[in-house]
Amino acid sequence: MLTITDLTITYPNGHQATRDVNLTIAPGEILALAGETGSGKSTIAKALLGLLPPGSTATGLARLDELDLTGRSPRDWEGIRGSRIGVVPQGAMTGLNPVRRISDQLIESVRVHTHAARRPAAARALDLLRQVRLPANTADVFPHQLSGGQRQRVAIALALAGDPQLLVADEPTTGLDLVTQNHILDLLAELRTSQQVGMLLISHDLPALRGIADRVAVMYSGTLVESGPAAEPAHHPYTRALLAAMPSLRPDVPWVSIPGAVPDRSTSGGGCAFADRCPWAAESCHLQRPLPVPVKSAVVACHHPSDDRQLAFPTAATPGRQAVDKIDAEARPVVRLGGVGHVYRSRHRRTTALAGLDLQVHAGQIVGVVGESGSGKSTLGQILLGLLRPTTGRVEVAGADLTRLRGRQLRGVRHRLGFVAQDPYGALHPAMTVADLVAEPLRIAGTPRHLHPARISRALDRAGLPTDLTGKRPDQLSGGQRQRVAIARALAGEPVLLIADEATSMLDVSTRAGIATTLRHLADGIGLAVLFITHDLGEAVQNCDQIVVLHEGVPVQQGSPGEVIARPNPGYPADLVAAARRHAGPSAVPSG
């Protein structure tokens, strides 16, 4: 049905976004297109919808049955976009009109695409809601009255309004919590069967897509490195690394990171784009671009495809037994929380962000706090930093009772804590150099100036950064490097506790395990206590000694990773573990 042949897209600035991409989608087939930031996967979707920025050029062929999709003028898409190809946008909040009822938006879409009269269009709108498993009364509400998952369902209903042959969904589940993500993916699989609609699902989350897709295609640096049946094991080292970079719920399955960064495409020569980061790379890989060749039922662009060879990527350091043993039971914990709770009050309502949390973090220990957005896990970080005074309970950090301290004394406690925020882009002042950024806690704490250079280089070293970066500014660094600068900055003041609030969630999958490894080395090497706040249960399992599961502010389970996975408490923990298991895909690929 959809055939893409040798599609090469060049942006107006001369940047080649994709190179010689070949894909097909049959009616009723789900093709998952996966890849990291900048791999060119969204560019493919834009090309299919005629949404490339003006001035871009596309060579090659993209056909939907008899219809040519390349070389159309911007006005020439009526009857195609929305009618024959439906679109599910990224982030359904922005895709819906906030001031109009769901029914109005659905009816409008139906009428635009089918030119139906109002009454039949209204009937069709209700029919669409039924198809996406939403109750009929959803039609009467406004988008803000719906949950994220419900909004995404409405967006899918809108995409189906024109009765399309092909549905293009760009990151359809990003930003939703795990349970909802699975529901949305189930819905898409169900629609594929009931409506016989072909689907192109684009996501950075390869394992999740493998669960519902028929075939999987993986892009790297603008080229298609592998496409093949979802049920079969992968052959390209990048695909296999991407799958292994997803933290498994089984602590014995290694969590892999891919060293290095995506090459700058303008400088890449004739070789394989992945060669610089590939553990299997031979000389031919650097010199000769691998052409797609059939391997079993897949097509792989690699000189040495293999589904069983050892990957030999660096794996995350797992919690060593010695780390647990070396905790001195007599020693005072770095963090001691007793019955900590916080209630946000506004004029109209009280929101319980945290309730009755007891927690201890010892030196050399990584404690994971797992929960979805709104579970109170970031509130906990703010309380530990003394930025938020809890409404109830006792907070003892680094031997000081935070609830009693104010002003200068409270700030003094912060000098002994390190904080790494989620967003490595906003948290670093854009005009400051790396050396300046890392020295900031020292300036704030009033450390004598002659001690700075030694402290800076030690912090950079511990965060896994080369010291020759000191003169660079944040915009010259990759996302992973920026986050390491943030970690180095947190370490500069020689803290006793590091609070990492979703420190990996904005990074590419391939760099996450590397950051986690760094945290593990810090815990083992210098006895740092780490509070690792995350929404990803797998990351917590792989990286932490202890896990606290938070749900709507309430600690619903505490224990070692093995306990939480093996014997989750009934209710939310059980749902979370089940959803995470499903999300991890049908089978973990053997990665040696």
Partner 1 sequence: MRAGLLAGRIGAVLLTALAVGAVAGPWLLSTDGRERLAAPYAPPSADRWLGADDLGRDLFAQLVIGARGSLGIALLVALAATTIAALVGGLAGLAPPWAAGIVMRVVDLVLALPFLPLLILAAAFLGPTLGVRAAVVAALVWAGPARLIRAGVLAAWSRGHLQAARAMGASAWYLLLRHASPVVAPLLVPVFVRAAMTAIVLDASLAFLGLGDPTSPSWGTMIHWASVRGAMLTDAWLWWALPPGLAIVLTVTALALVGVATEDRLNPTLRQAR
How far is the C-alpha of 54 from the C-alpha of 279, rounded, in Å? 39
Q: Given the complex with partner 1, which of 212 and 488 has the nearer CB atom?
A: 488
Per DSSP, the three-state class of 371 is: coil
Q: Given the complex with partner 1, which of 205 and 501 has the nearer CB atom?
A: 501
Cβ at position 236, least distance to partner 1 in Å: 36
Cβ at position 490, least distance to partner 1 in Å: 8
Query: Which value, to the nearest 10 degrees, does the dihedral of the CA atoms of residues 307, 312, 313, 316 take?
Result: 110
Q: Given the complex with partner 1, which of 419 and 572 has the nearer CB atom?
A: 419
N-term to C-term CA, the chain: 38
Sequential DSSP letters for 90-143: SSHHHHS-TTS-HHHHHHHHHHHHH---HHHHHHHHHHHHHHTT--GGGGGS-G
**Neighbouring residues of 514: CB distance < 8 A, sequence distance ≥ 6:** 257, 259, 314, 316, 464, 480
Q: For the stretch 261-273, what's the b/e string if a residue is b when 16 or more beta carbons lie within 10 angstroms of its beta carbon?
A: bbbebeebeebbb
Cβ at position 451, least distance to partner 1 in Å: 16
Give me the sign of the Cα torsion angle 237, 248, 502, 517. Answer: negative
Q: Given the complex with partner 1, which of 313 and 419 has the nearer CB atom?
A: 419
**Neighbouring residues of 109: CB distance < 8 A, sequence distance ≥ 6:** 82, 158, 161, 162
Cβ at position 100, least distance to partner 1 in Å: 26
Q: Given the complex with partner 1, which of 421 and 516 has the nearer CB atom?
A: 421
Q: Given the complex with partner 1, which of 119 and 349 has the nearer CB atom?
A: 349
H or E element that contains 445: helix 434-445
Binding interface with partner 1 (CB under 8 A): 385, 387, 408, 410-415, 417, 419, 421, 423, 425-431, 440-441, 444-445, 486, 489, 493
Q: Which of 248, 102, 264, 302 is nearest to 581 (CA)?
A: 248
Q: Given the complex with partner 1, which of 324 and 410 has the nearer CB atom?
A: 410
Cβ at position 9, least distance to partner 1 in Å: 23
Q: Given the complex with partner 1, which of 179 and 405 has the nearer CB atom?
A: 405
Cβ at position 470, least distance to partner 1 in Å: 18
- Cα 529 from chain centre: 25
Cβ at position 531, least distance to partner 1 in Å: 13
How far is the C-alpha of 270 from the C-alpha of 281, rounded, in Å? 14
Cβ at position 411, least distance to partner 1 in Å: 4
How far is the C-alpha of 139 from the C-alpha of 186, rounded, in Å? 22
Residue 455 has a CB neighbour count (10 Å cut-off) of 18
Cβ at position 348, least distance to partner 1 in Å: 16
Residue 281 has a CB neighbour count (10 Å cut-off) of 17
Q: For the stretch 64-98, what's the b/e string if a residue is b when 16 or more beta carbons lie within 10 angstroms of its beta carbon?
A: beeeebbeeeeeebeebbbbbbbbbbbbbeebbee
Q: Given the complex with partner 1, which of 14 and 430 has the nearer CB atom?
A: 430
Cβ at position 391, least distance to partner 1 in Å: 18
Cβ at position 455, least distance to partner 1 in Å: 14
CA dist list (Å): 589 to 21, 235, 245: 25, 10, 11
Q: State the pairing for strand pair 529-534/366-370.
A: parallel
- Cα 167 from chain centre: 23
Q: Given the complex with partner 1, which of 25 and 497 has the nearer CB atom?
A: 497
Q: Which of 16, 80, 75, 17 is nearest to 49 (CA)?
A: 80
Cβ at position 299, least distance to partner 1 in Å: 41
Q: Given the complex with partner 1, which of 161 and 492 has the nearer CB atom?
A: 492
Q: Given the complex with partner 1, which of 431 and 454 has the nearer CB atom?
A: 431
Q: Given the complex with partner 1, which of 415 and 521 has the nearer CB atom?
A: 415
- For residue 408, the cross-strand partners are none
Cβ at position 419, least distance to partner 1 in Å: 4
Per DSSP, the three-state class of 17 is: strand
**Neighbouring residues of 325: CB distance < 8 A, sequence distance ≥ 6:** none
